[in-house]
Amino acid sequence: MHSIDPGNSFATWREAARRMLAAGVPPQEILWEKADGLLAGIAEEPAIYHVSSSKAPAVPKAFLDLAVNAACHADPGRWALLYRILWRITHGGEKRLAEISTDPDIARARLMEKNVRREIHKMHAFVRFRKTGEREDGREIFVAWFEPEHHIVEAATPFFRKRFANMDWSIFTPKGCAHWDGETLAYTPGVERDPCDDPDALEAAWRTYYRSIFNPARLKTKAMQTEMPRRYWKNLPEAEIIEELIRDSRPRTGDMIATTPRPLRPEPRNDYLAHLRQLSEIPACSLPPPGTPPEEIARLLKSCRLCPLWQRATQAVPGRGPADARIMIVGEQPGDREDLEGTPFVGPAGQLLDQALAAAGIERDQAYLTNAVKHFKWTARGKVRLHAKPDAAEIDACKPWLLAELSSVAPEVLILLGNSAGRSLLGEGYPVTRHRGIIDAPHLAPRVILSYHPSYLLRLREPADRESTFEQFVHDLRLAVVHGD
């Protein structure tokens, strides 16, 4: 029996696993953790196994895709599980094992993968940046605190680098911290509690970050003092350690290969940050906290008064469907029947949606169906309640509820039906007639599809128009099942 501790590093585990495979070590002979206590006698990886990992057998891409995400799971048994799968593929003759979802090992790994993906989406949706200052060059500095259950910081934060390229930010978590300065995305160890409200803790965290990015091979003291005159140093959290780092840098420089990361071209800033700020201005008590399950969101919705639409509606209509649905479908708002029954998509538009889903090969019961606006907006004509389109303010007011559902379900495919659903999650500038099909919005879901709302089809007078539009609608829905599996 041998003990190998990869920590939380997939790269470390992969290298060790390749060496173990090349040496023919079976899973039952490896303890994938540091041996202590009663197990302290177990040998660490012996030198004989430090054979070239290039002798390790090739591994199918399906396994690697699965392993990369499952490795971020907090379950300490993940390394043993992944090695057992790897062994069965390479030494057990089960080359296509990673594709067999009914196998207990694969099912467990996929569940881990799903939990990790779900949490990455939650992090993308619920990280809230707070501005803490500005650099000398005018770049704004933001910080955020997040508490992930799994080791997702390195997997989730490239999203923020792309999204918020033009500002400096740090995201602190107990499972690792990420820092972006416009050029480099750096990682430091986790911190126990939110340093953002504690100036001392925040400065300590920044000093750790500054140490991690300090590159003695690029040290030019004069240029540094020109860029950052000494009189400003007293205001910088890292000032205390600048002298020390400069002093220590001389001997280190010779040992170090300066690997300058290629600067990324900053992207134009979009309105996402503004949106986050807007969300943070909504009273916290009105917002379901991250990870709230759909049934709790449904309960909280009943008392929502964020816009006037609740006053004339019978009830709020929450989403309906499996909490872990692969596909989430978002319409505009409940109609007359939905308002009375409290269930989305049960009126005429819902029936047409059922037909289209069946034609596209999607089971309605397997999807999570909801609306951008949760209360029915209507005008009276005699005794009939006629649908009235929600305005932008109403859509925006209801957006936190939709984001809460999206975060909770964390679907692989998000289908937005109609302009109101598009306006809610994509912002202005996405009319369905111009942007139908797949939309690049990875912060919402791995695949996002924009298409017609079925009520639009119901309003088409010409049968030929209705038929051809229905075909386009089914075509769009099929995008949820024909790619990416």
Binding mask 341-380 for ligand SF4 (x = CB under 6 A): --------------------------------xxx-----
In 3D, which of 320, 325, 321 has the Cα closest to residue 413? 325
Minimum CB separation from ligand SF4 for residue 285, in Å?
13
Minimum CB separation from ligand SF4 for residue 79, in Å?
44
Minimum CB separation from ligand SF4 for residue 298, in Å?
11
16: three-class secondary structure by DSSP: helix
Size of the site for ligand SF4 (CB under 6 A): 15
**Closer of 100 and 393 to ligand SF4 (Cβ):** 393
In 3D, which of 253, 263, 179 has the Cα closest to residue 218? 253
**Closer of 309 and 480 to ligand SF4 (Cβ):** 309
363: three-class secondary structure by DSSP: coil
Does position 403 interact with ligand SF4 (CB under 6 A)? The reply is no
Does position 163 interact with ligand SF4 (CB under 6 A)? The reply is no
**Closer of 191 and 397 to ligand SF4 (Cβ):** 397
Minimum CB separation from ligand SF4 for residue 470, in Å?
29
What DSSP state is assigned to residue 439? E
In 3D, which of 416, 224, 433 has the Cα closest to residue 328? 416
Minimum CB separation from ligand SF4 for residue 372, in Å?
9
What DSSP state is assigned to residue 320? B
Minimum CB separation from ligand SF4 for residue 409, in Å?
18
Phi/psi class of residue 417: alpha, beta or left (left: φ > 0; alpha: ψ in -120 to 50)? beta
Site for ligand SF4 in 285-314 (CB under 6 A): 301, 304-307, 309-310
Does position 151 interact with ligand SF4 (CB under 6 A)? The reply is no
CA–CA gap between residue 319 and residue 409 (Å, rounded):
10
> Is residue 78 within 8 Å of 115, Cβ to Cβ?
no
Place of tokens 């598009």: 422
* Identity of residue 146: F
CA–CA gap between residue 468 and residue 485 (Å, rounded):
28
CA 247 to chain centre: 41
> Is residue 165 within 8 Å of 264, Cβ to Cβ?
yes
Does position 423 interact with ligand SF4 (CB under 6 A)? The reply is no
CA 234 to chain centre: 37
Site for ligand SF4 in 313-342 (CB under 6 A): 316
* Identity of residue 47: A
- Residue 447, beta-bridge partner list: 413
Q: What sign does the dihedral 443-121-445-416 (CA atoms) show?
A: negative
**Closer of 397 and 421 to ligand SF4 (Cβ):** 397
User: CB-hemisphere CA count at 13 Å for 151?
Assistant: 18
> Is residue 307 within 8 Å of 394, Cβ to Cβ?
yes
Minimum CB separation from ligand SF4 for residue 390, in Å?
7
| Piece of the chain touching ligand SF4 by CB under 6 A; list 160-168, 202-210, 232-240, 395-403 | 395-403
| Piece of the chain touching ligand SF4 by CB under 6 A; list 30-38, 141-149, 153-161, 393-401 | 393-401
Quick one: which of 59, 398, 413, 448 contacts ligand SF4 (CB under 6 A)?
398
Minimum CB separation from ligand SF4 for residue 328, in Å?
17
Minimum CB separation from ligand SF4 for residue 313, in Å?
7
**Closer of 161 and 312 to ligand SF4 (Cβ):** 312
- List residues near ligand SF4 by CB under 6 A: 301, 304-307, 309-310, 316, 373-375, 394, 397-398, 401
